[in-house]
Structures are given as C-alpha cells and as structure tokens.
Amino acid sequence: YIDYKRSHRYIDYDDMLMIVASVLKQNKNLRERISSLYDHILIDEMQDTNPLQWMLLESFIDKCHLFCVGDDAQSIYAFRQADYKNIINFEKDYKECNTIKLEENYRSTNNILNAANSVIKNNSQRKDLNLWSQKGDGFKVKYMRSYDEKHEVTLVLSEIQKLLDEGYERSEIGILYRTNAQSRIV
C-alpha cells in the first residue's frame, strides 16, 4: 500500500496529518502564525485520538486553549491506533487544566449504571468516575453467559417469551446490539 501510494504520488488522510504535524513541529514561525489564528480548539472524543493526531495538537498547546471531551471507558478505535491514554495523560501533562466530570447519565437507570460502574472500576488505568441517574433504579440487571451465538439467541428468545407471558406487548420489547452483524442470528 505504501509503495503503491509513493509510486502514484498519492497521500491518504494519515499522510496529510503527518505532513502538517511535521511541518508545524519543524517550522516555529509557521507554527506560531497558524496557532495564533485560534483562541480555542475543541477535541471531541479525545479517547479516540491516535498518536499522530496528538502530535498535530501539540503545536497548538502553548498558544490555544484546548477543550477536550471524552470518556476513557468508551475508546473504540484501537484498531486504528487510538490511544485512550491521551485523555488520561492530558491531566498529568497539563497540570493547570480544569477537569469537569459529567457523571449524571440521562439515558439509563441506576441499576444499569451501577452494573457499568462495577465493571469499569476493575480497569486500573482509568479516570475515577461514578455514573448515576435521576431516573430511579429501574429494572434489575440480569447477567447471562452464553456459549455461542446460537445459545445467546436462545436465551434472548426465552426472555422475550417470559415477558410476553407476563403481559408485555411485542411493541414494548426491543433487542439492542452493537453492530448489525450481531442481528443476523436473531
């Protein structure tokens, strides 16, 4: 891929970032000129930034106010070299920063959040966070372990049947999954 790009004089998105970051790092006058154009820079989903993106941001740190938003427990782009430690190390590297924790969750109930908190607390490399909700406790969380996807769908269908037997309508029942591929067996 790299040889093909070179032979055709192509660059991809990462190449563009690398070129800009390298030029800014090497050229102090250009770095100061460009960074002086911005007072504030927002970095959303900071936990999903990769070292190359962080290298680009470093050119702006002394001149701009960085506003970083993210959740180290929700990093999902490790496959493209995202490093959740960027958000953890930001506070360590920039002691003068202010941290605002957003611990109130508006979507889930406390039973779900307590289950999430108990899982997340086992990660030794994380920010201290305690999620809570004003939505009350909600239904109890039920943990089930399946052996494979067929067993998993059997468990799900069994739970749906129990809900129907208890008087729930089909329109009150939903199945949530992370990726569409997980729906195939259902």
Say whether pLDDT at 173 is over 90: yes
User: Which pTM does this prediction carry?
Assistant: 0.68
pLDDT tens for 126-150 read 778 889 999 999 989 988 999 999 9
The pLDDT assigned to 101 comes to: 87
| One-character DSSP codes across the chain | -HHHHHHHT---HHHHHHHHHHHHHH-HHHHHHHHTT-SEEEESSGGG--HHHHHHHHTTTTTSEEEE---GGG---GGGT--THHHHHHHHH-TT-------B-SSS-HHHHHHHHHHHTT-SSS-----B-SS---SPP-----SSHHHHHHHHHHHHHHHHHTT--GGG-----SSGGGGS--
More confident call, 92 vs 41: 41
